[in-house]
Amino acid sequence: MNIGKKIPGIIIAGLRGGSGKTIISVGITAAWKKKGLKVSPFKKGPDYIDAGWLSKAAGRPCYNLDTFLCDPQVVVDSYHKNSENSEIAVIEGNRGLYDGIDLDGSTSTSELAKLLDLPVLLVLDCTKSTRTMAALLLGCMKFDPNINICGVVLNRVAGKRHEGKVRANIEKFCKIPIFGAVPKLKAEDFPERHMGLVTSEEHSFSEQAIDAAIKVTEDNIDLDGIYHSVMEASQDDPMTEPIEELVSTTILCDDKPSVKIGIIRDSAFQFYYPDNIAALANLGAQIIYISPLNEKMIPEVDAIYMGGGFPETHAPQLAQNRSFRKKLKHLSDEGLPIYAECGGLIFLGQNITLDGEVYPMSGILPIKFGLSKRPQGHGYTSVKVVHTNPFFQKGEIVKGHEFRYSSILEIDYQDHEMAFKMERGKGILEKKDGFFKNNTFGTYTHIHALGAPSWAPSLIRNAVRYKIKNKQ
């Protein structure tokens, strides 16, 4: 089916990670929304935190576009599908414009720009630099002539004199629009942690932070100029026919019962791709959100999906909820399908030690965790399924990513209890990941449902079997 024209959009990129593109992306998104525009937000790459801020700024879900985790055509279809019913899209890039995992930059923001045929707004961190910014910008413009850099925003300028020097050099050597200059901002508006911004859920003043981003944007950036540039760059070509449902729903027969999937979600566990939850719902699952921070018991469900987050920042509260931890372990012992990623894996463990204090977790898996000051696993992963397990077929290759500060202090396992062999990435231990007992599965690898299409149907099948067994 042809559902109309491609929604115009802008990709906001930087020269490196930490250049300030998130705050500017959030500010532009929220400011356009304030003007009455319907904005579809996207995040390039596997990031959850930036996506959370963009979602809050737009007032609608932010979807991740990642050409490592998903096939390029799936990424294109996701953009078309998830920008429907909007007037403009904002896609925040990641790292530097041309940065990728190989010499061809195949997973870079620039390649996404070409894939989606969208213009790029480049954020330039001008800290302690003037004429060199023109050289860097000119290099980006010439490095790949197929990238449409429609303009720039100067960031972290130290005053009018500094701004004037940078502007003069860019105007002379690059001849490209400058859509604004943002001064250095106060750290308390967007405090940084874990190599990025804190999550919007954890930021107690998230609404004030969004308002601050709007004010900074309105005061310093030519929103109308960017908007008109996007409209001029947009193509009037009809979209290619998208996939109506990006994850198949054919695995459930009419005579099979519907199932309830419990999703552990609160400020401790908040890292979920909207596509993952949608994949389960599209397969007929009733989604029930559960909070181990706020609820003592677990409602009747047929499976549990526990995503990542920062349980270490909520360890005292999680440890104090003894009834919830005890119930979760009981359900695991009874064979309830439980799938947990990263922070969820920590909650499945015996305990976590923080600053010498030991906090008990659910005790399902025989792992004791600690916390390091530096990342213990960070980046894309590729795993091969080497042992029979409840959720993945032996021999399957699954792509994902890992990002953790937690460390393994003690672990007791048999080799056949680790489903994954890491072909790329670190995993739990010795290039192994996917620790499972009964129908409980814990992994450091985050997966994206559109890039791992077997995952959602597998979780549903396990839930169906569990429900049928409990009715007998």
**Listed residue (349, 374, 356, 339) closest to 428, CA to CA:** 349
Classify the C-alpha dihedral 71-72-77-82 as positive or negative.
Answer: positive
Tally of CA atoms within 13 A in the half-sphere of 130 that contains its CB: 10
Tracing tokens 């860097």 back to the chain, one arrives at 136
Neighbours of 125 (CB within 10 A): 20
Contacts of 263 (CB under 8 A, 6+ apart): 272, 277, 287, 288, 289, 290, 304, 305, 306, 307
CB 268 within 8 A of CB 292: yes
Provide the CA 138 distance to its chain's centre, in angstroms.
31
DSSP structure class, residue 6? P
* Distance, CA of 104 to CA of 122 (rounded, Å): 20
Neighbours of 72 (CB within 10 A): 13
* Distance, CA of 153 to CA of 293 (rounded, Å): 41
Residues in the chain: 472
CB 259 within 8 A of CB 464: yes
CB 59 within 8 A of CB 47: no
339-350 residues labelled b (16+ CB within 10 A) or e (exposed): bbbbbbbbbbbb
The residue ranges of DSSP E strands in 201-345, in sequence order, are 260-264, 269-271, 286-290, 303-306, 308-309, 338-341
Whether residue 342 lies in the annotated active site: yes
Exactly one of 62, 70, 140, 342 is catalytic; name it.
342
Active-site annotation, residues: 342
